[in-house]
Structure formats: C-alpha cells, structure tokens
Structure 1
Amino acid sequence: MMQGSAVENHPFSPFEDRRIEQARSGEHWDRLTNAQRFAFYTLAKLGYQLLFVRRTPHTSTAIVKQEEQLVTINDDGDIDFNPNVVLRERRPPRQQL
C-alpha cells in the first residue's frame, strides 16, 4: 500500500504516463513485436519517440529517436544505442517551372 501511494504521488508519474500513451497512439505501434514494445516502454520513459518500424520478410527493426540520438530495437527487444542507421533528409518539394 505504501509503495502504491508513493508512486501515485510522484511528481513525474503523470508526465511519464502521457509519454507512454503518445507512444501507443502512434501509427507504428501495431507493427512492433511484444519484445519491441516492452523495450520501447523503457526508452519512452526516458523521452525517446518511435519514428518508424522497418520490416523485411523475416525481421523488423524499430527506429527510435531522442533529440539527435538514434536507437534501434530488434525483434527480440535488444536495444542498440549505436546503430549504423542513416535517415534520409526531408527535402522541400520541387517547385514546378
């Protein structure tokens, strides 16, 4: 009982809960394996955001970001804090002449 009330009264609990809810509502959430979801919960509490899930016929890799730090989560939920991933830059659309 004491532990529950201590957690409920913790000043950061509502903030963390909101982050997790935002993560669940993302369009890529359904593409995560259960192991990836569990790993992402941990990262979401630290402020990471799910960018997308890259799928192949046999594997999937979740791409997660916090500021400029990219992180990957494999099918088994293993987190790589130093992945070899390069994101394409978004360019403004070309103007027609």
Structure 2
Amino acid sequence: MQPENKPLIERRGEPPEHSIWWDRLTLAQKFSASSLGKFGYELQFIRNENSKSYAVLVCNGGIAVIAEDGEINTSPSIQLRR
C-alpha cells in the first residue's frame, strides 16, 4: 500500500517584500526583514521613536523589531494592540 500524496502546507506568511511598509525601510532593515521572512515573520508596521524608525514583525505570537541599522531584536519590550 502506497502512502497518499498529501498537499504541502505553506507555513510561511506573506513575504515582507509584499508589505505596504516595505518602501519605508532602510536597506539594512530590508535585508534583516527578508531574513526573518524565511522563518515566517511578517512585517506589520513601522514605529518612529526619537527620530528613529523601527520595523515591527510578528510570527506565531512572537515579535521582532529591526532598528534602522538592521539590528534584529527578537525579545523587544513592546506591546501590540489587539
């Protein structure tokens, strides 16, 4: 008896490059967001604080923030509204 061919389930969300926020990212943020996108992170919005922009991405309830220089923080002290 041969196993049934089941369709593969796509677990990744929409690539960050398709976000409406993509064009507002720095080049370094784009590289970091693309890397996180491979793990299922989706770009949600950009937050501006103290004249700096931070890209906010989410994945399965987890949050990641990318600074202007591309530094990724997967344990940010940020609260999202529900």
Aligning the two structures, in what range does the TM-score lie when normalised by the shorter sequence?
A: 0.7 to 0.9
The ranges of structure 1 where at least 4 consecutive aligned residues each deviate by more than 6 angstroms after the TM superposition are none
Residue in 2 that maps onto 1:39? 32
List gaps (5 residues or longer) in structure 1: 1-14, 90-97
Displacement of 1:55:
1.9
% of aligned pairs identical? 35
Structure ranking higher in helix proportion: 1
Displacement of 1:23:
2.1
Q: Distance in 1 between matches of 2:16 and 2:65?
A: 15
Structure having the higher Rg: 1
Give RMSD over aligned pairs: 2.0
TM-score by length of 2: 0.77
1:83 aligns with 2:81: no
TM-score by length of 1: 0.66
Given that residues 41 and 59 in structure 2 are in contact (C-alpha distance below 8 angstroms), is that contact kept between their aligned partners in structure 1? yes
Structure ranking higher in strand proportion: 2
Higher RCO (CA < 8 A, seq sep 6+): 2
